[in-house]
């Protein structure tokens, strides 16, 4: 997501521009705070030598030359399937590609999609989160993809991306609707994490509410659902931190009346009582960090890896369960990227990390 051109976190752009005026520091990822210029070609990927990880990991550049990649999945043909914007955010040139990660060869599965940010393969179909729509396309026996048809159109949203798609062990598809305010409350149907059953797509169930932007999700080996939260709505002072949450079905996570670790937001009618009844986050990230992906570390099931788009880094969160709740300790993991977009555990147990700005995918392996 291009921070200023792609409206994933444009409220943070305004705050960031204010900070730039105060500090006089021009951060590369915020250069578009003035009138943005569309790039004709992506910048060169960060060199592997410029990426920093803890000892014991090897990094390699796996794929380059992509155009604003969003979500990656393992395709039914064993290849890497990647959605990409393939141009400006609203140009409607989005694609889904099948990429051979070893040879770099690629073929176009779908094109002319509007803002494809999420993809999932389930029940013989390719599911696509495309702007306000959720689409599904049949997959042939040769892994070809047919014409996508709408499952939902005009989903509730706040003008920003509704994020990624995740298939659960129970055969449901997770998707989110971003939060739009109606007065001091969330507009009906927005700020919600949903679970859809392909056999009954017209009746999704709401898993959790009060989530401004549950952009990315992960399922751990025990079947627990984790989600990121991009909470860029102005609060009483500045902007709220972003979050990592453990999903408790039926719970409310507080937006817009509560922010961060259940702190009341008075401008939206938040009270201590209201926020005490909301679900506490597992971990907090700096305001505007923009967590666009989360996955379970393939080397440690108690560690979650989170891509912080606007900070150019992937962090690790060591989680400890406390009954039905969890707490996490955040530590650095991978830095030096431009805009880390999506994380995927590959078939060999390595970790793939895509970089939105440079169109590259890196592979991290743990040294044995």
Residue 32 has pLDDT above 80, yes or no: no
Q: Tell me the pLDDT tens digit for each residue of 126-179.
A: 999 999 999 999 999 999 999 999 999 999 988 878 899 999 999 999 999 999
Beta bridge partners of 195: 174, 205
User: What is the Cα–Cα distance from 171 to 59, expressed in whole angstroms?
Assistant: 33
- Write the DSSP string, 348-366: TS-EEEEETTTTEEEEEEE
Q: Would you place residue 11 in the very low, low, confident or very high pLDDT band (cuts 50, 70, 90)?
A: very low
pLDDT over 70, % of the chain: 89
Q: Tell me the pLDDT tens digit for each residue of 159-168.
A: 878 899 999 9
Longest dimension (CA), the chain: 58
- pLDDT reported for residue 185: 95
Question: What's the whole-number mean pLDDT along residues 67-89?
Answer: 97
Q: Are 99 and 80 within 8 A, CB to CB?
A: yes
SS3 per-residue string spanning 131-189: CCEEEEEEECCCCCECCCEEEECCCCCCCCCCCCCEECCCCCEEEEECCCEECCEECCC
CB under 8 Å to 22, separation ≥6 — which residues?
Answer: none
Q: Would you place residue 6 in the very low, low, confident or very high pLDDT band (cuts 50, 70, 90)?
A: very low
Give the Cα-Cα-Cα angle 123, 129, 131 (nearest 5 degrees): 160
- pLDDT reported for residue 1: 43
Q: Would you place residue 80 in the very low, low, confident or very high pLDDT band (cuts 50, 70, 90)?
A: very high
Query: H-helix or E-strand containing 15?
Result: helix 10-23
Query: H-helix or E-strand containing 295?
Result: strand 291-296
Per DSSP, helices labelled H in 270-329 are 272-276
- pLDDT reported for residue 4: 38
Residue 39 has pLDDT above 80, yes or no: no
- Domains present along the chain, CATH in parentheses: 7-366 (2.120.10.30)
- Nearest alpha carbon to residue 97 among 111, 82, 87: 82
Residue 326 has pLDDT above 60, yes or no: yes
> How far out from the chain centre does Cα 34 lie?
25
pLDDT over 90, % of the chain: 82
User: What is the Cα–Cα distance from 61 to 48, expressed in whole angstroms?
Assistant: 7
Distances (CA, A) of 292 to 4, 37, 233, 318: 15, 23, 17, 18
- pLDDT reported for residue 161: 83
User: What is the Cα–Cα distance from 190 to 159, expressed in whole angstroms?
Assistant: 11
- pLDDT reported for residue 43: 85
Distances (CA, A) of 237 to 3, 50, 234, 240, 266: 22, 36, 7, 9, 10
User: What is the Cα–Cα distance from 324 to 200, expressed in whole angstroms?
Assistant: 29
User: What is the Cα–Cα distance from 120 to 98, expressed in whole angstroms?
Assistant: 13
- pLDDT reported for residue 368: 77
Q: Tell me the pLDDT tens digit for each residue of 104-119.
A: 899 999 999 999 999 9
- pLDDT reported for residue 41: 66
How much helix, strand and coil, in percent to the nearest 5, is found in the chain?
10, 40, 50
Question: What's the whole-number mean pLDDT along residues 33-62?
Answer: 78
């Amino acid at each position: 997501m291009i921070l200023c051109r792609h409206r994933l976190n444009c409220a943070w752009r305004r705050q960031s521009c204010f900070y730039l005026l105060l500090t006089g520091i021009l951060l590369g990822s915020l250069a578009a705070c003035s009138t943005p210029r569309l790039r004709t070609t992506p910048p060169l990927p960060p060199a592997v030598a410029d990426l920093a990880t803890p000892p014991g990991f090897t990094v390699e550049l796996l794929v380059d030359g992509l155009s604003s990649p969003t979500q990656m999945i393992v395709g039914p043909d064993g290849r890497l399937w990647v959605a990409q914007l393939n141009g400006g955010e609203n140009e409607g040139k989005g694609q889904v590609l099948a990429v051979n990660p070893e040879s770099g060869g690629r073929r176009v599965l779908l094109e002319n999609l509007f803002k494809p940010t999420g993809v999932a393969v389930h029940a013989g179909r390719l599911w696509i989160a495309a702007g306000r729509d959720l689409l599904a396309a049949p997959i042939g026996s040769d892994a070809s993809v047919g014409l996508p048809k709408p499952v939902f159109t005009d989903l509730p949203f706040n003008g920003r991306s509704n994020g990624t798609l995740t298939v659960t062990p129970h055969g449901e598809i997770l998707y989110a609707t971003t939060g739009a305010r109606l007065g001091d409350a969330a507009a009906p149907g927005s700020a919600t994490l949903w679970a859809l059953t392909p056999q009954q797509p017209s009746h999704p169930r709401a898993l959790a509410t009060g989530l401004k932007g549950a952009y990315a999700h992960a399922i751990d080996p025990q079947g627990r659902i984790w989600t990121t939260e991009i909470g860029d709505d102005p609060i009483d002072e500045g902007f709220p931190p972003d979050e990592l949450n453990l999903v408790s079905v039926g719970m409310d996570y507080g937006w817009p009346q509560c922010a961060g670790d259940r702190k009341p937001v008075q401008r939206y009618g938040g009270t201590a009582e209201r926020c005490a009844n909301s679900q506490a986050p597992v971990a907090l990230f700096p305001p505007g960090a923009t967590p666009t992906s989360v996955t379970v570390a393939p080397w440690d099931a108690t560690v979650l890896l989170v891509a912080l788009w606007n900070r150019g880094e992937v962090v690790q969160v060591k989680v400890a369960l406390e009954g039905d709740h969890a707490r996490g300790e955040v530590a650095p993991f991978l830095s030096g990227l431009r805009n880390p977009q999506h994380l995927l555990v590959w078939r060999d147990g390595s970790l793939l990390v895509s970089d939105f700005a440079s169109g590259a995918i890196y592979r991290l392996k743990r040294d044995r």
